[in-house]
Amino acid sequence: MLKYDFKSNPDKKKWRSRLYGLLCTLGFNNAWLFQDIGDSVLFLSLVKQRLEDQFIHNWNGRLE
């Protein structure tokens, strides 16, 4: 339902647009495309790790 709504109204800034953007930024666009994440505990662990990695990378970049 979210995937269809996003395709039909891509310019609306709603939480689904932000979720889609976050998934793509983290490299999890397949989760959006296929609407399946498999093991939810593993998926959330990977999302958390990538968010932490991105934060540290961006923070180090600003420090340099």
Task: Decide which of 1 and 58 is more confident.
Answer: 58
42-64 pLDDT tens trace: 999 999 999 999 999 999 999 88
**Phi, psi angle pair for 37, to nearest 5°:** -115, -5
Percentage, residues of the chain above pLDDT 90: 47
pTM above 0.75, yes or no: no
In three-state secondary structure terms, 13 is coil
- pLDDT of 7 reads 67
Domain ranges of the chain: 2-63
The residue whose two tokens read 């983290």 is 26
Contact 17, 11 (CB under 8 A): no
Torsion angle of the four alpha carbons 14, 17, 23, 26, in this order, in degrees rounded to the nearest 10: -90
What are the tokens at 37? 């994440």
